[in-house]
Structure 1
Amino acid sequence: MPVAVITDSTAYLPSGWAAKYGISVVPVQVVVAGQPYDETEDQQAERVVEALEQWHPVTTSRPSPERFFECFRAAQEAGATSIVVATLSAAMSATYESALLAAKECTIPVHVIDSRSIAMGLGFAVISGAEAAGLGANEFDVTSIIERRAEASQVFFYVDTLEYLRRGGRVSSTRAVVGQALKVKPLLQLVDGNVQQVDKVRTASKALARLADLAVESAGDAEVDIAVQHLSASERAQQLVDILQERLPAATIVQCPVGGVVGAHVGPGMVAVVVAPKVDWL
C-alpha cells in the first residue's frame, strides 16, 4: 500500500465499499441533544431523523486533527509511504482544515484535497483514486484523479422543506418561510462547494422527475456512474433509480442513504442524485 487513500464519512460510500477499495474513513460527528455520535455508528441517521421531527437540537462537528492523525499513523504503520486524503467541501465544513493540521504532523507526504463536493460526488472520486493507487499510481496521479473526478461530478438534491437548511444557516429565513407558504419543493445543486437553488416544483413526483431530467442532462453522452441517495426516503429513491435505469441504461447506478451530518441540514425526505463522469488517470 504505497499510497493510502482516506476520506471522511460524508462520502457515504455504500456498505462494504470502503473495505473493498481499501479506503480509510474518518468520521464526522453529529450531535443530537448534546450527545455526540460518530457518523460511522449504526442508527445515527435514524436518531437524527427522530430528533429533527421532534424539534430537538441537532448540530454537526468536524473531526479533530487528532482523529485524522490517528488514521494517518495507522496507514503509515500498515506500509503506506504517502497519503492522499479528500474531504467534503471546505465551504460547508472545517473538516478540510482538520486534515491540513494533521498532515503537518505526519512524517510521510500527505496530500489534502478540498473536493468541493459531498456524498458520492466525493465518494466516486476517492474510489477512482483508490483504484488507481491499487494499480500502482503514485501520490500525484492519485491526487489528480480525485480532484478531476470530484470537479467533474454534479450533485443535485431535493428537500421536502427549506426549514432544516434554514436552521443550519444554508438559506435565509425569509426564503424558507416563503417556500413553506407556497408549498414549494426546492431543487438544489452543489456549485463550487456551495448550495444553490436551481429550480422549484410543487409536488414530490415533479421533484423526482426534474431530478431525473437534471441527471440525464448532466450525463450527456459521457460514461458515468450515478448514485441516488436519500434520508428516510427509500421508496422515492427507488422510484428515481427506476426512472434513471430506463433513461440511462448504460450508466452504473447505485442507491445508498446519507448519514446524520447531511441529514441534520436537509431533513428527512431528501433525495439526491450524483452524476460522476469517469476520468482516465493514465
Structure 2
Amino acid sequence: MHRHVAIVTDSTAYLPPTALREHRITSVPLTVVLGNEALEEGTEISARSLAEALRKHRAVTTSRPSPETFAAAYREVAAAGADGIVSLHLSAEFSGTYDAAVLAAQDAPVPVRVVDTGMVAMALGFCALAAAQTAAAGGSLDEAVAAAEKRAEGTSAFFYVDTLDYLRRGGRIGAAQALLGSALAVKPLLELADGRIGMLEKVRTATKAIARLEELAVARAGESAVDIAVHHLAAPDRADHLADRLRERVPGLADLHVSEVGAVIGAHTGPGLLGAVVSPR
C-alpha cells in the first residue's frame, strides 16, 4: 500500500531494527568520535565498544549528522513514493541534529516537517512509532506530526547513572551539581524535562536509587495503557530485573522494550546507566 507520509528519525531513538522495518521508519545515524576515528552509531561502533573505551578513559565525543546526510535520506524516501515527510529528532538542547534536519528540509523534493521532540532514546522512539502508525492509517502530514507531539507531551523518562561525571564532561548537566553529587557520594536520579536532563533526586546507594527508579516508573504508569522502555549501558542484569518488576507491577502495560542505549547517549552517561521511559498510549 502506498504511504503518502514517510517518517524519518535519528539513531538516538534506539528503535529495534525490526520496528524500523515493520513501520518503514528511516533512521539517520549520529556520529561518535573515538580518538581520531569518526564512527556511525549503530553500524560502526557498538555500545559494548563504547563502554570499554569509557572505562579506559579514552576521549569520546559525538557529532550530529550533516545536512547533506539528511538531504540524502529525504531524497531517498521521496523517490520511494512519499509526498510528505515527518522528521522527528532528539532534543535540540542535546545536539545540533534538529538544526541540520531543518537546513536539509529547505531543499527537499517534498514537504518536510521537522520536529524537536524534546525527547531522546525510546522517549523519541515512541514518538516516531506514533507518527508511523498514524501515517500507515492514512493520516496526513499534520496528523502524523500531531500524533508525535501528543506522545511527547505524555511521555516521561527517568534515569539512574553511577556518576554524573560523564554528563558534566559533555556539558549536559551543571558542574556544580556534578561536584556536589561526588562530594556527598550520592547516587543521582535524573529526569528528562523540557528537553533537558535535570536532577530529580539524590539517593544514598545504588540499590536504593534503582528501587526508587522502579517506584517512579510505576507511579507514572498508573493504571492506563502504557508502553515502557527500559534502557541500560553495560548493565543488562539491572535492566532485566527492572523489566521483570515492571511487568509484575504495571497493570496497563502494553509493550515493554528492553535495550542497551547506543554510543551517542552512552558517551554522556557512562556505563551503569539504567533508564525507564513511560509513554501512555
TM interval, shorter chain, is: over 0.9
Among 26, 36, 39, the alignment partner of 1:37 is 39
**Contact 1:89–1:193 at 8 Å: present in 2 too?**
yes
Q: Are residue 132 (structure 1) and residue 134 (structure 2) matched?
A: yes
1:83 and 2:71 aligned? no
Q: Is residue 186–residue 201 contact of structure 1 (8 Å, CA) maintained in 2? A: yes
Question: Whole-Å Cα distance in 1 between the matches of residues 24 and 169 of structure 2?
Answer: 36
Unaligned runs of 5+ in 1: none
| 2:272 paired with 1:274 | no
Q: Percent identity?
A: 47
- Do residues 220 (structure 1) and 222 (structure 2) align? yes
Instruction: Report the alpha carbon displacement of residue 10 of structure 1 after superposing the two structures with TM.
Output: 0.4
Deviations 1:68-127 (A, max 9, x none): 010000000100000001000011111000000000011211000000000111101111
Map of 2:163 onto structure 1: 161
Q: Partner amino acid for 1:131?
A: Q
Structure 2: runs of 5 or more not aligned: none
Amino acid at match of 1:139: L
Q: In structure 1, how many angstroms separate the alpha carbons of the residues matched to 2:71 and 2:98?
A: 13
How large is the RMSD of aligned CA atoms in angstroms? Answer: 1.2
Aligned length: 278
In structure 2, the partner of 1:257 is 260
SS at match of 2:42: coil
Letter in 1 for 2:53: A
SS at match of 1:276: strand
Match of 2:179 among 177, 180, 188: 177
Counterpart residue type for residue 273 of structure 1: A
- For 1:272, the aligned partner's letter is G
* Deviation, structure 1 residue 42: 5.1
Note the C-alpha offset of 1:43.
4.0
The equivalent position to 1:191 in structure 2, one of 170, 181, 193, is 193
Counterpart CA distance in 1 for 2:195 and 2:222 is 22
Q: Which residue in the other structure is 1:116 paired with?
A: 118
Q: Quote the Cα distance in structure 1 between the aligned partners of 2:44 and 2:251.
A: 33
- The answer (yes or no) to whether the contact 2:98–2:115 under 8 Å persists in 1 is yes
Deviates more, 1:179-188 or 1:56-65: 179-188
